[in-house]
Amino acid sequence: MQNEIPEFLYNMLLKQYGEEITGNIIKGYFAKRPVTLRVNTLKSNISNIEKQLKLENIQYKKVEWNENALILENVREIEIQKLAIYQNGEIYLQSLSSMLPAIILEPREKENILDMAAAPGGKTTQIAAITNNKSMITACEKNKIRLERLKYNLEKQGVKCVNVMQEDARKLSDYFSFDKILLDSPCSGSGTDNINQDSFSKELIDRLVKVQYDLLTKAIKILKHGGEMVYSTCSILMQENEEVLEKVLSKNNVEIIPIQIDKNIPTLPVKIKGTICVHPTNEFEGFYIAKIKKV
């Protein structure tokens, strides 16, 4: 098993989680995950989508903790992309783990919300749907190509409440002030099958830790007093999660809001109480989530 993932990652996981949990994580890495989708409630509803899937003879099961999510059982992504419900933006293909941050953020209508690293737009469109297009969302993306993808998805999903900025969120003016912030930070992807890519390295992790720290520091600066934010990564490494968080917590007047999640969501042990780390399995990608309040 050790040979199936980079040796440096195996050693990091072993040090953090021990042998038994590391073995289970590796199984999760190589499990074949089903296609999962989120119903876009700005354009459709769960019963309409279920009807369409039945007409196409696509089997699915519901997700207990998200009434607008479905797990598809006998189909590949490419086949779903041919359906009218996909092409019209009535559904959005999204991993179950990546649906969690926006739900945990609990965005509300009329709130001023920042999505700091928004492309390709899965979580931005999800926030817009949760708030019925009635919040004010600022979506940042520094990369021009990824920005165009974000704009495309916002339009396709019928999102009307987003102001898109081509900007590195670390450079946002300190005069900004937001009720809620989602920082789904750039990360190594150590909770996903990204570990098989050539770009995945120890150097990448070290480089990203600095980016994560700077983004989180900026987020807290421009979060209103009493405001709440979610910090998330698709990494399961302490270096990108708890260690970044601990550094920032020690320097700012913030507190962790304990996250309550459904018992069916598999989790890994965490160092900071109240935060969660989703265990990679045959249905979930590895994902870390912390909810923070500025006091």
Do residues 38 and 125 make contact, with C-beta atoms less than 8 angstroms apart? Answer: no
Query: Would you call the peptide bond into 101 cis, given omega within 30 degrees of 0 as the criterion?
Result: no
> How many residues appear in the chain?
295
| Dihedral angle sign, alpha carbons of residues 152, 220, 277, 131 | negative
By annotation, the residues acting in catalysis are: 234
Residue with tokens 């926030």: 127
Q: Which of 266, 292, 293, 291 is nearest to 31 (CA)?
A: 266
Do residues 261 and 272 make contact, with C-beta atoms less than 8 angstroms apart? Answer: no
Q: Which of 142, 136, 135, 200 is nearest to 171 (CA)?
A: 142
How far is it, in rounded angstroms, from Cα 40 to Cα 46? 9
User: CA distances (Å), 66 to each of 71, 183, 188, 265, in order?
Assistant: 11, 21, 27, 11
How far is it, in rounded angstroms, from Cα 98 to Cα 289? 10
How far is it, in rounded angstroms, from Cα 111 to Cα 96? 25
How far is it, in rounded angstroms, from Cα 40 to Cα 13? 36
User: CA distances (Å), 19 to each of 76, 103, 215, in order?
Assistant: 33, 32, 33
Do residues 284 and 63 make contact, with C-beta atoms less than 8 angstroms apart? Answer: no
